[in-house]
Copies of this chain bind each other. A is one copy, B any other.
Amino acid sequence: MVTIKDIAKKAEVSITTVSRALNNYYDVSEATKKKIIDIANEIGYVPNRSAQNLVKQKNNTLAIILSGLEKKGGKDNIIYRLLSGMYSYAESVNYEVVLYTTDSAHQRDKTYVQFCKEHNIGGAVLNGIKIDDPYFKELLQSDFPCVLIDILAQGKNVSSISINNYEAAIEATECLLKHNHKNIAMINGRREAQVSIERYKGYVEAMTKSNIELKSEYIVYADYMEDKAYEETIKLLSNHPEITALFCASDMMALGTIKAINKLNLRIPEDISIIGFDNIPLSEYMTPPLTTVDQDFYVMGEKAAKQLLKMIKKEAYEKNYILQHKLLERESVSML
C-alpha cells in the first residue's frame, strides 16, 4: 500500500507537507505542491478512507435503510428508482451511499442505530419500514438525521417525503366516479400503513362527496401483495357481483386483481374498471394499459438525499416535503 509516508520520503519533505499539498491547502509553495502531486500520481497513491474517516470525526456517507432486498421483489422497480435518485444526488455532493436492510439487521442482530454509528453515517433515508419496528423507533429517538419515505415525520431530527396520498386517492376515485361507477371497491394495502390510511381517507372523501353510501365489505386489505390481491379479489367479486370498479392501492396489487378478473372470465374494462397506484414500469404494458397514479420515485430519492444533506448541515428544511403526483389515464377504466 502506498501511503503519504512514501510520498514524503520520495519528495524529501514531511508527511505534514504532503497532507497539506494533497488537500490543497493555501500554505504550501506551488513548487513543492506540484512535486508532491506528481510523485503521488507516479507511485499511484490513493488516500485511505478508513484513516481519513477515523481522524476527521465524520464521514461523507448516507445510509438507505430498506425493508429488504427480496429474491422475488423488485418487480415494481421502486427501490431501484429510489436508490438511483439518491445516488445521483449524493454523488453530486461527494457523498457515498450505503445500504442496509431490515433483514440484515435482524439476521445480524444489529440495530439501525448500531449500523449508523459503526459506519459513522451522516443520516439515513428509510423506506418500507414498519412503524412498529423497534429498531426504527430507536433510530428516530437517536439524533441521526432521518428522512422517511411515505411516513409522516415526528421527532426532532426527522423529516419526511411523499406525495399527497389523500388527494391522489380522491382523484383516482373521482376518475371512477366520473365514468359513472358507483359500486367501487378498494383493494387497500396494510391497515396500519400511513399511506394506506391516507388513500382510504381519499376514497371515502370522494365517495361521500358524491353521496354514495360506503360499504365496509367493499374495502379489503391485501398487504400490497400480488397474490393476496388475487385471492381477495376473487372473494370480493364472487360475493359482490354488483361491483363494477376497483381502486387498487398499488399497481402490484392491481396485477393480482387483473389475474383474478381474468380468472373469473370478466373483461377489463368492459365488465370491471380498474385503477392502480404507483405507475410501475409494468403498468403501461398490461392489457389493457393500466390507469394509475404516477409517483416519481427517482425524484423522491433525489429529494430525500437533498433533504438529508440539509439536515446534516443544520440548514433549514421542510419537515414534510410533498411531491407532485399525476393521474395517468390509460385504458383500464371505461364509462359505465
Contacts and interface: CB of A to CB of B under 8 A. Distances in A.
Interface string A240-272: 000000000000000100000000000000000
A317 B54 CA distance: 35
Per DSSP, are chain A's interface residues mostly helix, strand or loop, or mixed? Answer: helix
Interface in A268-285: 281-282, 285
A324 interface: no
Interface string A318-329: 000000000000
Interface centre among A59, A84, A85, by most chain B C-beta atoms within 10 angstroms, is A84
Contact of A50 (B71, B87, B108, B120): B120
A236 to B, nearest CB: 22
A84 B98 contact: no
Contact of A87 (B96, B99, B113): B99
B49 A281 contact: no
A79 interface: yes
A75 B77 contact: yes
Nearest to A298: B71
A80 B74 contact: yes
Interface in A56-90: 57, 59, 69-71, 73-75, 77, 79-81, 83-85, 87-88
Contacts of A97: 99
A50 B46 contact: no
A1 B287 CA distance: 56
Nearest to A59: B50
A47 B120 CA distance: 10
A47 B118 contact: yes
Contacts of A287: 287
A285 B226 CA distance: 13
Among A48, A50, A73, A74, residue most surrounded by chain B Cβ atoms (within 10 Å): A50
A50 B113 CA distance: 16
A141 to B, nearest CB: 12
20 contacts: A46-B113, A46-B117, A47-B118, A48-B54, A49-B119, A50-B51, A50-B53, A51-B54, A54-B54, A69-B84, A69-B88, A71-B84, A71-B88, A79-B80, A87-B104, A91-B104, A91-B107, A96-B98, A97-B99, A282-B285
Given A255-B285, A285-B285, 20 more contacts: A1-B117, A46-B114, A46-B117, A48-B118, A49-B119, A49-B120, A50-B53, A50-B54, A69-B84, A69-B88, A71-B81, A73-B84, A77-B77, A77-B80, A87-B99, A91-B103, A91-B108, A94-B108, A282-B282, A282-B285
Interface of A: 1, 46-51, 53-54, 57, 59, 69-71, 73-75, 77, 79-81, 83-85, 87-88, 91, 94, 96-99, 101, 103-104, 107-108, 113-114, 117-120, 255, 281-282, 285-287, 298
